[in-house]
């Protein structure tokens, strides 16, 4: 009994980490054919929207139970519902509660009340009556991802917040994750994993001594929700956007940009097991795009929520941009920064980080490119970080231009008189003056 | 897509930095050579693990407290050689022309490669090691298990190679308990004859 419980726990630990990045076409068609997307947005008629929500899920349920009825016992979740104690799902939920406790104290969790409150607000708006079932945790990881555990624990990575451009795009992702929860995809995966005798593979991953996020990545890859689950979750994402009044045409735009990032990397790894085993993101972009248009045409009003979103994200963004630099992925980061520049209210900050990419790569011509971008940043709208002058000084110093380096370091100390590296910079200025 | 590419290098680095290690006794009073450039003489017994250019000194075990020595990193090389195994992503590397600011950034970027993104660094200030000019800074972070860790880095270059000493311990009790022992190790550093 104990062994069975711990086995469930191990599989569960792995399942929580499921990445969700795939989609196909067929799963979307069912709700559209049945006219489920004709409901008015919740913002317009909140009472009615709350009543129709459960009907939406019920109708989709009728179309999509195709695997094994036994594992769909809690698929039609009522708000606040937990599986009864003697079920397989109960063990899974208990394990997830423990994992959630770890996530709550994990060092990579972003403990920022305002940011967490905002994400919870958006998640609640898309989750509707299931608001209190879903808990959002922001994790500081510079990659595009969000995960959903069967007990309602949702993790959103900062790399995703950096890449979404408005509240509707964020709502598309959160709605997708809520879809995984409402359909209890993790429970389905656990059961089919055990039945398919893949359990030993999961066991070895879960106990192989891989720590931290490396383990998360590996497990996420092995245990990604299957394609049908992703299609279904994307469909739910659009339904929930419709209900909550967000512009569903935004759902595909994030994917378009991710494709640009991927294609910008000339060294992209063709052996990437993710790309080898899943349909191309192009398919997802196309399907989400077409369906988003169809859904939007039936909505009386749609909202993007760009200003509200940026007001929360922009003051926090510099740390996430620095994390991106630490990846040392020049081409993908450069493409990301170009995408952000297309409509960013603070181009000075992005231009500075483009300069940083060149400074850190340090190939031929990169010193001049870095200086050019720093110059552009100083002339652009918005504000670049105060340590721009220090970076300029480092580039000049590397080129042997001592006078310019000294001038930049002095400008840095003037802009940041309480800088944590003041003593070192003063020391460098002194050396430059005598060299 | 990006997380998947991270697997290989992150796992490799973690194995290098934290997996099962064989420790030998570094006896009190007996000098230990660091890549022929320095020697270090402990004033008490330590446990010492060596793997390539990394040494790990510990008394109570590396999870609780340890001095990690990056031992003579050459120009163009990463602090952790295993990071080079990732063909898709270049690791942050040491360059002999680096300023103290860039050496600190190299350390922070290396730690980020093993998925610890929340390192907070303190004041960067000049110091010295065995008569060579050096740089020192403190840092702190909460690890994936929610344990608060504290540490400091002392770094210097000699013969165009980087020597970086990284003392880290659990903030509660262990950091202060062995801080003097860690400082003693650093004070015992002597430059070897060229």
The reply to whether B136 touches chain A by the CB within 8 Å rule is no
The reply to whether B85 touches chain A by the CB within 8 Å rule is no
Reported ipTM: the value is 0.87
pLDDT in tens, A17-43: 333 432 333 333 333 323 333 333 333
Q: How close, in Å, is residue A330 to chain B by CA atoms? A: 9
Please count the helices (runs of H) and the strands (runs of E) in chain A.
Answer: 22, 3
Tokens of A374: 């720093």
- Total domain count for chain B? 1
pLDDT in tens, A154-210: 999 999 999 999 999 999 999 988 887 876 666 666 665 555 444 444 433 333 222
Residue A88 has pLDDT above 90, yes or no: no
Expressed as residue numbers, the domain containing B23 is: 2-191
Distance CA B94, CA B77 (A): 6
Residue A194: what pLDDT? 55
| Closest alpha carbon to A237 in A285, A306, A164, A170 | A170
Q: Do A210 and B11 touch (CB under 8 A)?
A: yes
Residue in A212, A267, A420 nearest the CB of B144? A212
Read off φ and ψ for residue A152, nearest 5 degrees. 100, 5
The reply to whether A363 touches chain B by the CB within 8 Å rule is no
CATH number where B140 lies: 3.40.1000.10
What single string gives the DSSP state of each residue in A7-24? HHHHHHHHHHT-------
With helix as H, strand as E and coil as C, how does A254-290 read? HHHHHHHHHHHCCCCCCCCHHHHHCCCHHHHHHHHHH
pLDDT in tens, A363-415: 999 999 999 999 999 999 999 999 999 999 999 999 999 999 999 999 999 99
* Phi-psi category of residue A147: left, alpha or beta, with phi > 0 → left and psi -120 to 50 → alpha: beta
Residue of A nearest to B89 (CA): A329
Residue in A107, A397, A427 nearest the CB of B146? A107
Distance CA A171, CA A165 (A): 11
- For the ranges A62-66, A89-93, A202-206, which has the lowest average pLDDT? A62-66
- For chain B positions 22-81, those within 8 Å of chain A (CB to CB) are none
* Neighbour tally for A136: CB within 10 Å: 22
Residue in A275, A362, A425 nearest the CB of B1? A275
pLDDT in tens, A253-299: 988 998 899 889 887 655 444 444 455 678 778 878 888 887 788 88
The reply to whether B125 touches chain A by the CB within 8 Å rule is yes
- Radius of gyration of the CA atoms of chain A, in A: 24
Residue partners of A302: CB distance under 8 A and separation at least 6 = A41, A168, A245, A246, A247, A248, A249, A296
For residue A41, the cross-strand partners are none
For residue B66, the cross-strand partners are B168
pLDDT in tens, A116-130: 999 999 999 999 888
Beta strand spans in A47-200 (E): 135-139, 146-148, 153-157
State the average pLDDT for chain A.
Answer: 75
Whose structure tokens read 């890859």? Answer: A221
Q: What are the sequence ranges of the domains in chain A?
A: 2-304, 328-434
pLDDT in tens, B138-151: 999 999 889 999 99
Residue B36 has pLDDT above 80, yes or no: no
For residue A182, the cross-strand partners are none
Alpha helices in chain B (DSSP H): 2-18, 100-113, 174-177, 179-187
* Phi-psi category of residue B173: left, alpha or beta, with phi > 0 → left and psi -120 to 50 → alpha: left
Tokens of A373: 């971008």
Instruction: Give Cα A243 distance to the centre of its chain.
Output: 22
For the domain spanning A328-434, the CATH number is 1.25.40.10
Q: What percent of chain A has pLDDT over 70?
A: 68
């Amino acid at each position: 009994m104990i062994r069975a419980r711990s086995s469930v726990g191990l599989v569960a630990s792995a399942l929580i980490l499921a990445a969700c990045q795939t989609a196909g076409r067929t799963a979307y068609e069912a709700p559209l054919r049945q006219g489920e997307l004709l409901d008015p947005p919740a913002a317009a008629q909140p009472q009615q929207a709350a009543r129709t929500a459960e009907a939406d899920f019920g109708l989709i349920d009728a179309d999509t139970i195709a695997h094994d009825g036994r594992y769909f016992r809690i698929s039609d979740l009522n708000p606040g519902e937990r599986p009864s104690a003697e079920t397989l799902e109960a063990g899974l939920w208990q394990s997830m509660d423990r994992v959630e406790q770890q996530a709550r104290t994990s060092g990579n969790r972003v403990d920022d009340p305002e940011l967490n409150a905002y994400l919870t607000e958006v998640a609640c708006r898309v989750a509707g009556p299931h608001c209190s079932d879903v808990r959002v945790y922001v994790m500081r990881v510079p990659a595009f991802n969000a995960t959903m555990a069967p007990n309602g624990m949702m993790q959103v990575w900062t790399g995703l917040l950096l890449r979404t451009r408005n509240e509707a795009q964020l709502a598309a992702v959160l709605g997708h994750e809520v879809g995984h929860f409402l359909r209890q995809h993790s429970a389905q995966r656990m059961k089919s994993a055990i039945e398919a005798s893949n359990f030993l593979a999961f066991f070895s991953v879960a106990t192989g001594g891989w720590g931290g996020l490396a383990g998360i990545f590996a497990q996420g890859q092995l245990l990604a929700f299957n394609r049908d689950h992703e299609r279904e979750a994307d469909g739910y994402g659009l339904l929930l956007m419709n209900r909550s009044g967000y512009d569903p045409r935004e759902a595909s735009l994030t994917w378009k940009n991710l494709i640009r990032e991927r294609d910008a990397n000339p060294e992209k790894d063709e052996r990437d097991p993710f790309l080898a085993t899943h349909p191309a993101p192009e398919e997802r972009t196309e399907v989400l795009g077409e369906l988003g248009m169809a859904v939007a045409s039936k909505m009386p009003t749609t909202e993007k929520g760009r200003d509200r979103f940026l007001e929360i994200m922009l003051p926090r963004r510099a740390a996430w941009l620095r994390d991106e630099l630490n990846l040392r992925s020049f081409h993908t980061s450069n493409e990301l920064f170009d995408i952000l520049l297309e409509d960013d209210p603070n181009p000075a900050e992005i231009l500075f980080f483009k300069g940083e990419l060149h400074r850190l790569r340090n190939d031929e011509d990169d010193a001049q490119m870095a200086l050019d971008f720093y110059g552009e940043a100083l002339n652009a709208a918005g504000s670049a970080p105060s340590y721009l002058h220090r970076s300029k000084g480092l580039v000049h110093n590397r080129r042997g231009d001592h006078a310019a380096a000294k001038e930049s370091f002095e400008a840095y100390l003037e802009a940041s008189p309480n800088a944590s590296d003041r003593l070192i910079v003063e020391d460098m200025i002194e050396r430059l003056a005598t060299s | 897509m990006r997380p998947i590419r991270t697997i290989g290098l992150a796992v490799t680095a973690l194995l290098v930095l934290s997996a099962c290690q064989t420790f030998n006794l570094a006896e009190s009073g007996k000098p230990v050579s660091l890549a022929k450039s320095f020697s270090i003489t402990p004033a008490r017994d330590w446990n010492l693990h060596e793997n390539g250019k990394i040494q790990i000194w510990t008394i109570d075990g590396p999870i609780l407290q340890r001095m990690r020595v990056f031992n003579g990193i050459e120009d163009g090389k990463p602090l952790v050689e295993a990071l080079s195994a990732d063909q898709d992503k270049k690791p942050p590397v040491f360059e002999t022309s680096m300023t103290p600011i860039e050496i600190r950034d190299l350390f922070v970027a290396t730690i980020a490669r093993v998925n610890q993104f929340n390192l907070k660094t303190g004041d960067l200030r000049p110091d010295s090691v065995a008569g060579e000019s050096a740089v020192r800074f403190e840092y702190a972070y909460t690890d994936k298990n929610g344990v608060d860790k504290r540490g400091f880095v002392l770094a210097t270059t000699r013969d165009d190679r980087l020597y970086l000493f990284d003392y880290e311990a659990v903030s509660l009790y262990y950091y202060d308990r062995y801080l003097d022992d860690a400082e003693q190790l650093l004070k015992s550093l002597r430059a070897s004859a060229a």
